[in-house]
Amino acid sequence: MQIGCHVSISGSIDKAVDNAVERECSAFQIFTRNPRGWHAKELSEEDIKNFKDKLKASKIDQFATCAHMPYLPNLSSPKPDGFEKSVKSLVEEVERCGKLGIPYLVTHLGSHLGTGEEEGIKRLVKALTTAGQVKNDVMILLENTAGQKNSVGSDFKQLGEIFKQLKPAKKFGVCLDTCHAFVSGYDLRTEKGVKDTFKEFEKHVGMENLKILHLNDAKGEIGCNLDRHYHIGLGNIGEEGMTAVIKLISKKKIPIVLETPIDDTRDDFENVRIVKELV
């Protein structure tokens, strides 16, 4: 089983590996830069070397690492300058991941801001296709959404339809978030529910395209569209469902990454440990 959590790069990017090792992770996710701004400071040769050296020295497989896009870009934006900046940011991140040897970049699908799904998807596909031209081995992973207003891709059928439009195909994959799936209506609370959900996923997207699993329990109820992650087993998905997901995913050797909160109830050290205990 490859399992870990999102870790901070605070201080310098190689600190992410220390943070992952400390938490006994065998997989991890980072932001390659401050996720709250548009500007990304260029990675120096030294940053890159330190990150790669530390990763090599750890027992973590390079293919169990991923980066997440920053928060501000909106790949479905109807505003021309906002769209352009977002595409530029996506291209930049694909390049940064390539330099760091990170194989996967997870991205949200953006918001069409009320202009309709069809137009939003057109822009999204254009943005992704542009970034797909970057010549390196980084794969862009589309993350299923929680089904918030003006978003697309919470429904596996629609996610699959978007995914199939992307070329070259080898540059694209999918990241499934369990919290997002649950709050958009997929019942992950029981073993049967999990089985049925992944059957749907297989039908529309294909398990071979699933490269990273975001394992999060949900604060909200099924179908509520609320993107609020919760501690593993303590949310509305619960222990039975989480356990069934972990078993199914680790059998397929897909890296599992937690994006759970850090609060008085638990921190990420504990959530990582609990996932290992559940199987």
Burial (CB < 10 A; 0-12, 13-18, 19+), residue 178, is buried
**Distance separating alpha carbons of residues 112 and 78, to the nearest angstrom:** 6
**Count of positions on this chain that bind Zn ion (CB under 5 A):** 2
Query: Is the CB of 93 or the CB of 227 nearer to Zn ion?
Result: 227
Query: Is the CB of 48 or the CB of 222 nearer to Zn ion?
Result: 222
Q: Which amino acid is at 88?
A: K
For residue 227, indicate whether it is catalytic.
yes
Query: Is the CB of 95 or the CB of 227 nearer to Zn ion?
Result: 227
Of the residues 93, 95, 217, 227, only one is catalytic, namely 227
Query: Is the CB of 54 or the CB of 266 nearer to Zn ion?
Result: 266
Nearest to 38 by CA among 6, 74, 80, 79: 74
For residue 112, indicate whether it is catalytic.
no
CB of 80 to Zn ion, least distance (A): 25
For residue 108, indicate whether it is catalytic.
yes
For residue 71, indicate whether it is catalytic.
yes
Pairing between β-strand 210-215 and β-strand 139-143 as defined by DSSP bridges: unpaired
For residue 18, indicate whether it is catalytic.
no
Whether 188 contacts 154, CB under 8 Å: no
Whether 256 contacts 249, CB under 8 Å: yes
For residue 214, indicate whether it is catalytic.
yes
The span of 156-164, 219-227, 232-240, 264-272 binding Zn ion (CB under 5 A) equals: 219-227
For residue 206, give every residue at least 6 positions away whose Cβ sits within 8 Å of its Cβ, in sequence order, or none: 160
CB of 224 to Zn ion, least distance (A): 13
- Between the CA of residue 62 and those of 17, 45, 50, 54, 100, what are the distances in Å? 11, 19, 14, 11, 10
CB of 99 to Zn ion, least distance (A): 22
Give the tokens for residue 46: 């030294």
For residue 118, indicate whether it is catalytic.
no
Which residues ranging from 127 to 146 are in contact with Zn ion (CB under 5 A)?
143
Q: Which amino acid is at 262?
A: I
For residue 143, indicate whether it is catalytic.
yes
Question: Is residue 227 close enough to count as binding Zn ion by CB under 5 A?
Answer: yes
Report which residue's Cβ sits closest to Zn ion.
227
Question: Is residue 268 close enough to count as binding Zn ion by CB under 5 A?
Answer: no
Query: Is the CB of 8 or the CB of 133 nearer to Zn ion?
Result: 8
Strand partners, 174: 142, 210
What mask of x and - would describe binding to Zn ion in positions 51 to 90, judged by CB under 5 A? ----------------------------------------
CB of 77 to Zn ion, least distance (A): 17
Of the residues 23, 214, 231, 266, only one is catalytic, namely 214
Nearest to 232 by CA among 197, 257, 251: 257
Question: Is residue 217 close enough to count as binding Zn ion by CB under 5 A?
Answer: no
- Between the CA of residue 119 and those of 76, 77, 126, what are the distances in Å? 8, 10, 11
Which residues would be at the binding site for Zn ion (CB under 5 A)?
A: 143, 227
Catalytically active residues are 36, 68, 71, 108, 143, 177, 180, 214, 227, 229, 259
